[in-house]
Amino acid sequence: MIRPGDSLLQYENPVLVSKSTDRKLPKGRPLRVSPQQPADSAPIPPPPKPKTGPSGASRLDNEEILNAILPPREWMEGNQLWVQQVSSAPCTRTEVVNLEELLDRKMQQMQARETGICPIRRELYCQCFDELIRQVTINCAERGLLLSRVRNEIQMTTAVYQTLYESGVAFGVRKVLQVEHCKTDMEKKISDLEDENQALKKQLNEKEAKCDAIVEREAEKRQVEEKKHLEQIQFLKKTNQQLKTQLEGIIAPKK
């Protein structure tokens, strides 16, 4: 069961509405129920209707407006439906001061952050604002209705900003995931290019080694050919010299 002390908004004592789960009173209307009675007690007849004058009618109108602005809260306990209305008791200056002290104490107990986004601080201030609306509505229903409009506008604006914030966070998350995906693709592409570069370097080294081997083989072959050609030239020169000497020997006696 929800305890009245859980909220800064003041509530009356809980009232047992029904023991079945299929009966609920609509929110925002004054309750016409009796508090829970012991099981062995006799039914208590409803009290006579009070004779209300203009002030009594105004008080009932204020209660209806109060229930419309701050609907009663309902909860199930077993198969029993409990309803708890906001308090219609007027507020004094001391109670306002106590409300401020209670707000500060709950902020400390629940470790609400003083700056930035804090759901706990927001919930406590919403409860405090509802309590102020309740106090003002009891004295002047019109001011209470106007404050209710201000509260609804603030809540709507906050909801819009929260939606924008969530949309921005979702957009940022999508962009981060997209960047991570692109980063993974780029890393894979860089890895493939590096592998291809290494393969091309390996092919280049093989071609350079093959080219060096061909150059060395051709140089050796050229040296062998040059040596062979030089030897042939020396042989031809020697043969030519011998033939020249023989020819001179043949020609010389004739003179």
- The DSSP annotation for 205-223 comes to HHHHHHHHHHHHHHHHHHH
Any idea what the Cα angle at residue 251 is, between residues 250 and 255, rounded to 5°?
130
Which stretch of 4-8, 65-69, 243-247 has the lowest confidence by average pLDDT?
4-8
pLDDT computed for residue 152 by the predictor: 92
- pLDDT higher for 249 or 20? 249
Rounded Cα distance, 154 and 167, in Å? 20
Q: Give the DSSP H or E segment for 237.
A: helix 141-251
Domain locations in the chain as residue ranges: 179-242
Query: Cα-atom radius of gyration of the chain, to the nearest Å?
Result: 52
Which pLDDT band, with edges at 50, 70 and 90, does 198 fall under? very high
Helix (H) or strand (E) holding 8, with range, is: none
Give the pLDDT of residue 57: 52
With a CB cutoff of 8 Å and minimum separation 6, the contacts of 138 are: 62, 66, 88, 89, 90, 91, 144
Position 151, amino acid: R
Task: Give the Cα separation of 98 and 104 in Å (integer).
Answer: 10
74 Cβ neighbours under 8 A, 6+ residues apart: 17, 24, 25, 27, 81, 82, 83, 84
User: Tokens 């909860």 correspond to what residue?
Assistant: 75
**Mean model confidence pLDDT for the chain:** 80
| Separation between Cα atoms, residue 137 and residue 153, nearest integer Å | 18
Q: What is the pLDDT of residue 60?
A: 58
Q: List the structure tokens of 14.
A: 């809980």
Statement: residue 27 has pLDDT above 80? no
Give the span between the Cα atoms of 223 and 229, in whole angstroms. Answer: 10
Residue with tokens 């004094």: 92
Q: Fill in the amino acid letter for 206.
A: E
Q: State the pTM of this model.
A: 0.54
* Rounded-to-10 torsion of CA 134, 148, 139, 35: -40
